């Protein structure tokens, strides 16, 4: 009799202990899951870089809904107005341009080598072939221009781009600046708003062996969220303010952005922006004149 009572008491005590253990384990589990649930419930602003939000395993990446779906307009053969072969004569003109206009302005060896390597004449309409190695901007259609070579070199040097770093360009235009960047790093991303220019640039880049440059037809104001953060961002059209999404997509570990800011049609200021954590510093470099930054 006594033995059976003791046995029953043993069972009851065992059950109570088990219940307490289960309750404790549950409470710990809840605590562990807390931040994940909070992360899921918090609406994520689309321009916040992945590095700035807590990465929770298994939580799907939010997809921006405003991403334009329109693609680049790939030019037909008969509309494709570029000469894509290099020659001794073009190389000699390029060398002279680098020696006279680029080397006095920049000292970074990699930038100088890039300017020597990329055949600028392939990026301009054939009617401007003979001017391709003069140090001034040239029309590329749709009211846009390929930038002045010495300015391309200076802006590239300001980025202080290292091999393997990820760089975003806003304003692909002809594709020339993107090719210069690709000579320095293999992580080049570039966005162009005008479909025809985006398509022509894509075709030139593919033909010249720059097929691994990532191109996008879209409004660069929003940056390229999917590939952020970027070690460097270069903007080659002039907005009247610094787009917040671009600052947000700049690497918090010393990201650099070179951007002209000012009124359309006049002189703008070229700025060097640097980001360390949430600290963003801006330094005015010099005056420039770029085509306007347009929006869709």
Question: Which residue among 174, 215, 249, 251 contacts ligand SAH (CB under 6 A)?
Answer: 174
Minimum distance between the CB of residue 31 and ligand SAH, rounded to whole angstroms? 45
Q: 3-state class of 274 per DSSP?
A: strand
Give percent helix, percent strand, percent coil of the chain, each to the nearest 5.
40, 20, 40
Minimum distance between the CB of residue 258 and ligand SAH, rounded to whole angstroms? 12
Minimum distance between the CB of residue 34 and ligand SAH, rounded to whole angstroms? 40
Q: Where are the alpha helices (DSSP H) in the chain?
A: 2-41, 88-97, 109-117, 149-159, 176-184, 195-207, 244-248
Number of residues near ligand SAH (by CB under 6 A): 24
Question: Is residue 183 within the footprint of ligand SAH (CB under 6 A)?
Answer: no
Question: Between 47 and 253, whose beta carbon lies closer to ligand SAH?
Answer: 47
Say if residue 72 is preceded by a cis peptide, omega within 30 of 0: no
Tell me the window of 16-24, 127-135, 218-226, 272-280 that interacts with ligand SAH (CB under 6 A): 218-226
Please report, for residues 97, 112, 135, 288, the alpha-carbon distance to residue 138 in angstroms, rounded to integers and kept in the order given: 15, 21, 9, 15
Question: Which residue among 157, 165, 183, 219 contacts ligand SAH (CB under 6 A)?
Answer: 219
Question: Which residue among 157, 167, 168, 173 contacts ligand SAH (CB under 6 A)?
Answer: 173
Token code pair at residue 23:
């309750």
Question: Between 3 and 69, whose beta carbon lies closer to ligand SAH?
Answer: 69
| Among 264, 290, 272, CA closest to 159 | 272
CA–CA separation, 233 and 221 (whole Å) = 12
CA–CA separation, 284 and 281 (whole Å) = 10
| Among 139, 110, 114, 148, CA closest to 270 | 148
Note if 287 is an active site residue.
no
Question: Which residue among 90, 112, 114, 146 contacts ligand SAH (CB under 6 A)?
Answer: 146
- 147, 150, 174, 251: which is the annotated catalytic residue? 147
Q: For residues 281 and 274, is the Cβ–Cβ distance under 8 A?
A: yes
Question: Which residue among 119, 149, 171, 260 contacts ligand SAH (CB under 6 A)?
Answer: 171
Question: Between 25 and 83, whose beta carbon lies closer to ligand SAH?
Answer: 83
- Select the residue whose beta carbon is closest to ligand SAH and give its number: 173
- Give the interface with ligand SAH as residue ranges (CB under 6 A): 144-147, 170-171, 173-174, 176-177, 191-194, 197, 219-221, 236-237, 291, 293-295
């Amino acid at each position: 009799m006594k033995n059976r009572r003791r046995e029953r008491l043993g069972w009851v005590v065992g059950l109570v202990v088990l219940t307490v253990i289960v309750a404790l384990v549950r409470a710990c589990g809840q605590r562990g899951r807390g931040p994940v649930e909070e992360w899921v419930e918090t609406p994520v602003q689309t321009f916040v870089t992945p590095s700035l939000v807590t990465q929770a395993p298994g939580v799907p990446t939010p997809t921006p809904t405003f991403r334009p779906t329109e693609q680049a307009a790939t030019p037909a053969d008969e509309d494709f107005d570029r000469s894509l072969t290099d020659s001794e004569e073009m190389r000699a003109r390029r060398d002279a341009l680098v020696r006279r206009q680029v080397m006095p302005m920049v000292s970074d060896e990699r930038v100088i080598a890039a300017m020597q390597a990329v055949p600028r004449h392939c990026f301009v309409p054939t009617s401007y072939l003979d001017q391709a190695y003069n140090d001034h901007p040239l029309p590329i259609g749709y009211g846009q221009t390929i930038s002045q070579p010495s300015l391309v070199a200076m802006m590239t040097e300001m980025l202080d781009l290292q091999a393997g770093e990820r760089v975003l360009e806003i304003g692909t235009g002809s594709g020339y600046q993107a090719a210069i960047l690709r000579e320095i790093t293999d992580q080049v991303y570039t966005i162009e708003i005008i479909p025809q220019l985006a398509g022509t640039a894509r075709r030139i880049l593919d033909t010249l062996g720059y097929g691994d440059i990532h191109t996008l037809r879209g409004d660069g104001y929003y940056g390229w969220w999917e590939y952020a953060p970027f070690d460097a961002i270069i903007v080659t059209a002039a907005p009247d303010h610094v787009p917040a999404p671009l600052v947000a997509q700049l690497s918090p570990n010393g990201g650099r952005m070179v951007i002209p800011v000012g009124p359309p049609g006049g002189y703008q200021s070229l700025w060097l922006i640097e980001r360390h954590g949430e600290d963003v510093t801006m330094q005015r470099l010099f005056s420039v004149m770029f085509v306007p930054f347009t929006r869709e």
